[in-house]
Amino acid sequence: MTRLRDSLSRKLTAMNLLVSGGALMLASTALFAYDLVTFRGTLLSGTTIQAQIIAANSVSPLIFNDAKSAEATLSALRTTQHIIYAAVYTLNGEFMAGYWRGQGREPLPLPPFNRESGGFSKFEGEKLDLVQTIDFQGKTVGFVYIRSDLGALSERWRTYGVILLSVLGVSLVAALVLSRIAQRKIARPVLRLAETARQVSREKNYMIRAQLTEDQDEVGLLVESFNDMLHEIQKRDTALQESESQFRVLADSIPQMAWMTDKEGAASWFNRRWYDYTGTTPEEMEGYGWESVHDPEILPKVLATWKNCVRTGQPYEITFPLRGADGNFRLFLTLALPVRDAHGKIVRWFGTNTDVTDQRRSEEALRQTEKLAATGRLAASIAHEINNPLEAVTNLVYLARIQPSNLEKYLKLADQELERIAQITKNTLGFYRDTASPAPVDISEILEEVVALYSRKLNFKRIRLQSEYGDRIVVEGFPGEIRQIFANLLSNAIEAMSEKGRLRIGAKQVHGRGNLTAIPGVRITFLDNGTGIPPERIKKIFEPFYTTKKDVGTGLGLWLTLGLVAKHHGQLRVRSSVRPGRTGTAFSLFLPESQEDSSKDGSGSTTKTEAAS
């Protein structure tokens, strides 16, 4: 506080002294300027009077050419200290008699001047030159020339200087004393306020208040305003502490692991569940320390995705394994969103990690259940498909026995039926024998195979099938899984239609929609005129165990189909109508041409449901 007091006191004192001294200097300067002007006038007036007296007394010496009488008249100037030279000159400017103060005895020439003007005076340097005419009976008969120094002015200034310094010294001392007195009213309350501000800043204690002043002036208003500000800060600080406490309790009570980072993506906070699961400490997790609990093989992809989101401000969503305190990895779904200020700038990120290991295991079990159910349904369909050609082979063998003459004909027909059975078996095996990595898939060929498998059901219901796809429409994917997708959509369409229904299957090369706009691929459409799906149900058809077939379906077909579409980075859209006379459902499937391009784009499966009234 001493430094503050010295600084403020010195400033106030210096200000007061500067103002007082400045005012005195301005007043003295004005006084000196005025005195200089008036003193020169006075000096000129006095010298002129002396010259006139000398001129009046020098008329007779000039007329009678009496130089001694003229010198006697000039000698009267000895009493005037600052006249250094005086002389009487004739009308022609000739020296007649003179007076010198000092050793010099050389006469000075008359200065040039207009003789008709009656006289001459001039201040030049440190002297005053004055010429006065000597008149007799209205005519000029000679001149008096007087030269005076300005010593009187220097003496006057020295006197004024002593007086000014004395007055200035007394005034500054008085100003210093008054300044010290004034500081008690101004500086001390401000200094106490500054000390209070430092104490609040140092201790972070917003309950402290500055001491109020007795006067209701600007300083008093400043102190009151400062205390009001501390009161508001205290309220907000209390509310902030309560909010932070509630947030920490909430963050520690949720089942997810929660975390925050700065705007650059460096971690700054984790909730208790994170430390409980990972077995780490806050010091270990500071900055990018969280990399230590990631799978090293997956970490580069995680970092690349995270840094891209931090750079672009896009929401962060990814699934990856994290190592627990026991050393085992579990799968977590990670979501993070940017937190922005009032100007829209990102100030931090908030994210959560949700353990989806058990969920993924359950989903895989459901997929296997659906595959088994689909296998059963397919086996029943295949049994019907194979039964007809087997009956035909049996009849042909019987005819060949009783009609040996037509043996070759019957055996050829039997061979055709056996080829049909082999083709059905081959198509069936395609559902379950799949490649380990994506391979070129002919969409037209697979659609033909799936339609062939369900031809008996189509014929049984006398459904009119309209195929709109050409040859060699190829995408990259898993052939067996694509067959499963087509089989599920075709089976649902057949079951939704009554006899003599209409089914249209189309495929064409297009570009995707939404987040797949720039990716080339193939769009496959299954359009039926079945019963349609009501609006209240269409939004649930992709949920597991939800079915519109009552006791027939398991409710896993479309859910499994959506998962397979997601694996291929595609889109699945559905639109349905229950309007009388215009019922029907359309499933639109988009598969990207290349799995590599779609995975780089970061796209995944999306669904869109729409019900027509």
Q: What is the pLDDT of residues 444-474, one digit of tens each?
A: 888 988 888 788 788 888 999 998 887 788 9
The pLDDT score that the predictor gives to residue 305 is: 93
| pLDDT of amino acid 366 | 72
Let me know if residue 185 belongs to a domain: no
Name residues whose C-beta falls within 8 Å of residue 142's C-beta, 6 or more positions apart in sequence.
55, 58, 62, 88, 89, 90, 91, 96, 133, 134
531 in the same domain as 487: yes
pLDDT at 247: 64
Q: What angle do CA 497, 498, 501 make, to 5 degrees?
A: 70
Q: Give 517: exposed, middle or buried? Use CB within 10 Å, 0-12, 13-18, 19+.
A: exposed
Quote the CA–CA distance of 267 and 274 in Å, as a whole number.
Answer: 12
515 and 453, same structural domain? yes
What's the pLDDT score for residue 185? 64
Buried/exposed 67-99: b ≥16 CB within 10 Å, e otherwise: eebbbebbeebeeeebbbbbbbbeeeeebbbbb
The domain total for the chain is: 4
Q: What is the rounded distance in angstroms from the CA atom of residue 556 to the CA atom of residue 371?
A: 9
> Do 459 and 434 share a structural domain?
yes
**Domain match, 241 and 347 both:** no
Query: What is the H or E stretch that residue 243 is in?
Result: helix 218-253
Contacts of 437 (CB under 8 A, 6+ apart): none
Tokens matching residue 279 = 């077995």
Q: What is the pLDDT of residue 4?
A: 45
pLDDT for res 293:
92
Same domain? For 113 and 242 the reply is no
d(CA 476, CA 480): 12
Q: How far, in Å, CA of 495 to CA of 449, rounded?
A: 19
> For residue 232, what pLDDT is reported?
83
Q: Cα angle at 52 between 51 and 55, to 5 degrees?
A: 85
Average pLDDT taken over every residue of the chain: 81
Average confidence (pLDDT) per 10 residues, the chain, 613 residues: 53 72 78 77 86 88 87 86 89 88 80 79 86 87 89 78 80 74 68 79 79 70 80 78 69 82 90 91 89 92 93 93 93 93 91 89 74 64 64 71 79 74 64 68 88 83 88 86 86 88 91 64 93 87 74 69 87 91 92 73 55 52
Q: What is the pLDDT of residue 604?
A: 52
Which residue blocks in 319-462 are alpha helix, DSSP H? 357-402, 407-429, 443-453, 455-460
Q: Would 374 be classed as within a structural domain?
A: no
CA 27/CA 399 separation, integer angstroms: 146
pLDDT of residue 333: 93
Q: Give the H or E element holding residue 328.
A: none
Residues 556 and 492 in one domain: yes
Phi and psi at residue 534, to the nearest 5°: -60, 150
Return the CATH number at 273. 3.30.450.20
Q: Is 210 within 8 Å of 192 (Cβ atoms)?
A: yes
What pLDDT was estimated at residue 417?
67
- Containing structural domain, residue 220: 204-246
Q: Please check whether residues 236 and 260 belong to one and the same domain.
A: no
- Let me know whether 291 and 237 are in one domain: no
CB atoms within 10 A of CB 603: 21
What are 133's strand-pairing partners?
143
Q: Report which secondary-structure segment, H or E, holds 577.
A: strand 571-577
And the tokens for 612? 């027509």
Longest dimension (CA), the chain: 198
